Amino acid sequence: MSEILFASSNKNKFSEAKNILSKFGIKLKFLRCHLREIQSSDLEEIARDKAIQAFWLCSKPVIVEDDGLFINSLNGFPGPYSSFIFKTIGNKGILKLMSVQRSAVFRSVIAYCEEKEDVRLFSEDIFGKISKQELGKKWGFDPIFIPRGQSKTYSQLEKKNIISHRYLALRKFANWYLRKPLSSGP
């Protein structure tokens, strides 16, 4: 297996992805970069565009992960704008916007590109709810998202990386990648 680059400016995402994919025997290297994010309400479209940009940067097999927190009572907000919203109002701002209805979906989209314009997408949703306060100290929305069937936030869970939306999407990718025919060359 050749190494795959993980294109992102987020070291935390890379660390999680590296840890998850190592269990499948897939090695990741970090390609620290700031990719332009198109304005779209479709995570798949955003991830596809970023994967193509990343491939043009490195001309090597590359993964991009895009995710979003979709809160039902906020009509799916922040959705594909999750990163921007986290940077501007953070978890405390999200908690202030919440109503009694707290259900949410955390979605991850993995985009893999090893040839120009040829992108494979792997996505997964985890249903859950938004906690009433920040619980735990990890990054992103982990301190406020409680997956269905759990009583703790992602931040509080010891085994987040075996139930998370990112894990499940990466597992789909790994299962495909490990079974795909070897390419005949560049």
Complete domains list, the chain, with CATH = 4-179 (3.90.950.10)
pLDDT tens track for 81-125: 998 999 999 999 999 999 889 999 999 999 999 988 899 999 999
Q: Is the pTM of this model over 0.85?
A: yes
Instruction: Give percent of the chain with pLDDT exceeding 90.
Output: 83
Q: Catalytic residue positions?
A: 66
pLDDT tens track for 3-40: 899 999 999 999 999 999 999 999 999 999 999 989 89
Beta strand 4-8 with 28-32 is parallel
Phi and psi, residue 21, nearest 5°: -70, -25
Residue 139: predicted pLDDT: 84
pLDDT at position 186 over 50: no
- Which among 6, 96, 20 has a CA at the least distance from the CA of 57? 6
Query: What letter represents residue 48's amino acid?
Result: R
CB atoms within 10 A of CB 86: 17
Residue 104 φ/ψ region, left for φ over 0, alpha for ψ in the -120 to 50 degree band, beta for the rest: beta
